Amino acid sequence: MDRVSFIILLSCHLLLLLNPSSSHPLCTDSTAPFTLKTPLKFCPYNGAVCCNSLEDLGLQKQYQAMNISDPGCASVFKSVLCARCDQFSADLFTVDSVPRPVPVLCNSTVAANSSQTIQARDDFCGKIWDMCQNVSLLNSPFAASLQGQAGQPVTSNFTKLTELWQSKADFCNAFGGASLDESVCFDGGPVMLNKTEAPSPPSGMCLEKIGNGSYLNMVAHPDGSPRAFFSNQPGKIWLATIPKEGSGEMEIDESNPFLDLTDEVHFDTEFGMMGIAFHPNFAQNGRFFASFNCDKSQWPGCGGRCACNSDVNCDPSKIGTDNGAQPCQYQAVIAEFTANGTASELSLATSAKPSEVRRIFTMGLPFTAHHAGQILFGPDGYLYFMMGDGGGDGDPYNFSQNKKSLLGKIMRLDVDNIPNAAEISKLSLWGNYSIPKDNPYTEDKEMQPEVWALGLRNPWRCSFDSARPSYFMCADVGEDLYEEVDIITKAGNYGWRAYEGPYLFTPKQAPGGNTSLNSISPIFPVMGYNHSEVNKNEGSASITGGYFYRSMTDPCMHGRYLYADLYASGVWAGTENPGNSGNFSTSQIAFACAHDSPIPCSTVPETSLPSLGYIFSFGEDNNKDIFILASSGVYRIVRPSRCNYACAKENVTADVTPSPTTSSPPSQTSRLGPYKHTFLLCTSLLLLFLGFA
């Protein structure tokens, strides 16, 4: 391959990596940015950063070792090295999961779409070329991208940009990118997303009632069909068929559950079956999981190590409960089950085998509240387990911040690689699972390796955004003041009980000690509300997390995060502005019931508003439609016009949106979005130079 062919090949490869990415503050190791007590000494960053003082010193030594003679070139190279500390460094240095030696450089020569203009001041890539093209650089990070490539060996540690790239256009085609709606680029300083005017909230949300049952969980069938699993708190799971919008009630046979665990499940106000999760390959392997509470005094199969133990300096004999129960009488359990059917017909199974395949997890609970218990499979194929702080007024034993405790944590478990008995004993695990190798604390002897994130009080309903998997949203129930929604990141600490949402929290009693504010870097909520905002008389509040709305059934709701309050029956929509920034504005959404709802909605006395009762949870089907699971029944969000709400986008999109269950996977070029023309051009040029055109 000659020099020109290689440059085209590498330039095209790098350009194709510049697909729009989902950007919210995130470091290259997938952890959240943190705030330092003292500013960095070398890199000019403050506020939220991705470098500590040791990493800052390392960048300074790397810069000094380059021995750059030209002051202007030295200045821009310092900023390129320091971009590692930017709070958006994951997006700058990792594109489509491929790490880069240098950040994506802002380049005015990259075309933007018709609605945007890239100003000349953003041409930082051109600035680097102009100032450094003929400067000899020792161990240049740009040369690292060519190291070992066929046809272009780098034979010296000293290089000039002109020795590697023929022109500014070649250089910036390889390393440049425009700052568009869904991507970021580096212009020499901290990434700043242009704030635009916040979109107006929808005029209202229209609902239709399709079921009368009261359920706690809804999970779409993994086979992509219009079916879903529902479960209730006492311990039953049903398989239901979801009708098309406006066509009738959902089909569910309450007398014939898919699985009945009521003999094992302990059901009370804050006890019961808390979560269900179906393996991504359920249609082939029939595996699914149930998260529930049991009472070891009532069921012999209930038993496990107490979460209050010597590891966390907690003595179970000294803990009292508010209902006469003994500490760890009640347990948090994850059990594995399998569908009832032959290997070729598992996706068609209408029942499950009643006996556990294996016990995945068991842990005794110190108090009678704050058990959370939701489970779900992430886009990475691992099982995420949400666990509350275990109860007690103000988390008195400070379990949420205790590194040895699994209470107040989100765990990430590998249930596909089950260790043998000897391995379980060696690792001191709580059940039959293994630890994913990239869990953040696998090498930290102070922290339990199961932990993905910590500092939560009682996470009630979490979800991954189907359009942007890096957005892992969790609602966390507050104590007396604030309800919050968090973006969960690897190793993130969400503050409880040093903080309740954005507010400092002081417990009434603290036999388990306190956490020093200087010892943690809390991540504050992106959305939330004070208790006084939803119930001015009693102050009662309990948040229920939801989903990003990704259906086009209501196009005016598309892209907004929906959540609710259990008691107030209020629903909020969070709108991110600018897009992918992690900055949200929220508004409470009015809602009504469609006049042609399959099941008539009951109304609040003296009003025409639907009476939902308690909002327990949300659900999402395979068409990305969103459902509200309330004490009064199951409701689906439908077209705004069915409630006479105005949405100008409805008529435009109603007839052109394909059904996700029937559409084919996008082709490679369609996934490239605005870069598909670059893809076709690069392909043609490569074929020409390689002699195949």
Amino acid at 475: A
Pairing of strands 94-95, 236-241: unpaired
* b/e map 657-671, b = 16+ CB within 10 Å: eeeeeeeeeeeeeee
Residues 418 and 529 grouped into a single domain: yes
Question: CA-to-CA distance for 319 and 521, rounded, in angstroms?
Answer: 30
Question: CA-to-CA distance for 535 and 546, rounded, in angstroms?
Answer: 20
Confidence at 344, pLDDT banded by 50, 70, 90: confident
Residue 397 lies in a domain: yes
- Do 128 and 172 form a contact (C-beta atoms < 8 A)? no
Q: What value does the mean pLDDT take over residues 545-549? A: 98
Number of domains in the chain: 2
Confidence at 182, pLDDT banded by 50, 70, 90: low
Residue 586 lies in a domain: no
Q: What value does the mean pLDDT take over residues 490-498? A: 97
Residues 381 and 291 grouped into a single domain: yes
Q: What is the pLDDT of residue 159?
A: 84
**Strand order of the sheet with strand 482-487?**
459-464, 472-476, 482-487, 527-530
- DSSP state letter for 521: -
Q: What is the pLDDT of residue 634?
A: 98
Q: What is the pLDDT of residue 607?
A: 75
Question: CA-to-CA distance for 154 and 190, rounded, in angstroms?
Answer: 31
Domain that holds residue 170: 3-194+677-689
Q: What value does the mean pLDDT take over residues 496-522? A: 94
Q: What is the pLDDT of residue 236?
A: 98
- Do 162 and 134 form a contact (C-beta atoms < 8 A)? yes
Residues 486 and 399 grouped into a single domain: yes
Confidence at 22, pLDDT banded by 50, 70, 90: low
Number of other residues whose CB lies within 10 A of the CB of residue 617: 21
Residues 163 and 279 grouped into a single domain: no
Indicate the residue among 511, 539, 567 that finishes a domain.
Answer: 539
Which residues, in sequence order, are CB contacts of 169 under 8 Å at separation 6+? 109
Q: What is the pLDDT of residue 8?
A: 44
Phi/psi class of residue 478: alpha, beta or left (left: φ > 0; alpha: ψ in -120 to 50)? beta
* Closest residue by Cα to residue 329 from 307, 348, 355: 307
Phi/psi class of residue 6: alpha, beta or left (left: φ > 0; alpha: ψ in -120 to 50)? alpha
| Three-state helix/strand/coil letters over 653-672 | HCCCCCCCCCCCCCCHHHHC
Residues 19 and 111 grouped into a single domain: yes
Residue 106 three-state SS? strand
CATH code of the domain in which 284 resides: 2.120.10
Confidence at 573, pLDDT banded by 50, 70, 90: very high
Q: What is the pLDDT of residue 358?
A: 95
> What percentage of residues in the chain have a pLDDT greater than 90?
67
pLDDT in tens, 596-647: 999 999 888 877 788 999 999 999 999 999 999 999 999 999 999 999 999 9
Pairing of strands 383-386, 503-504: unpaired
Instruction: Give the residue, 601 or 318, on which the prediction is more confident.
Output: 601
* Sign for the pseudo-dihedral over CA of 499, 271, 234, 229: positive
Residues 187 and 272 grouped into a single domain: no
Residues 19 and 166 grouped into a single domain: yes
Q: What is the pLDDT of residue 195?
A: 65
Residues 151 and 264 grouped into a single domain: no
Indicate the residue among 495, 514, 539 that finishes a domain.
Answer: 539
Q: With a cut of 60, say whether residue 673 has pLDDT above it.
A: no
Q: What is the pLDDT of residue 531?
A: 92
Residue 485 lies in a domain: yes
Q: What value does the mean pLDDT take over residues 463-491? A: 96
- Per the prediction, the chain carries an average pLDDT of 86
Q: What value does the mean pLDDT take over residues 328-352? A: 92
Half-sphere exposure of 614 (CA within 13 A, CB side): 12
Residues 35 and 123 grouped into a single domain: yes
**Residue for token digits 């939801």?**
546
Rg value, the chain, Cα: 27
pLDDT in tens, 353-407: 999 999 999 999 999 999 999 999 999 999 999 999 999 999 999 999 999 999 9
Residue 545 lies in a domain: no
Q: What is the pLDDT of residue 536?
A: 55
In 3-state terms the chain splits into helix, strand, coil percentages (rounded to 5) of 20, 25, 55
Q: What is the pLDDT of residue 591?
A: 95
Residue 78 lies in a domain: yes
Confidence at 274, pLDDT banded by 50, 70, 90: very high
- Do 80 and 119 form a contact (C-beta atoms < 8 A)? no
Residue 448 lies in a domain: yes
Q: Which of 427-431, 537-541, 588-592, 685-689 has the lowest mean pLDDT?
A: 685-689
Instruction: Give the residue, 575 or 110, on which the prediction is more confident.
Output: 575
Residue 653 lies in a domain: no
Q: Which of 10-24, 46-60, 417-431, 573-587 has the lowest mean pLDDT?
A: 10-24
pLDDT in tens, 94-127: 877 788 899 999 987 544 433 333 343 468 999 9
- DSSP state letter for 197: P
Residue 138 β-bridge partners = 158
Total H helices, total E strands in the chain: 13, 35
In the numeric block, which tokens belong to residue 614?
A: 């308690």
Residues 268 and 183 grouped into a single domain: no
- Do 484 and 476 form a contact (C-beta atoms < 8 A)? yes
**Phi, psi angle pair for 221, to nearest 5°:** -60, 130
Q: What value does the mean pLDDT take over residues 7-19? A: 43
Confidence at 37, pLDDT banded by 50, 70, 90: confident
Residues 516 and 390 grouped into a single domain: yes
Residues 157 and 302 grouped into a single domain: no
Which residues, in sequence order, are CB contacts of 520 under 8 Å at separation 6+? 401, 455, 493, 495, 498
Indicate the residue among 539, 555, 584 that finishes a domain.
Answer: 539
Residue 351 lies in a domain: yes
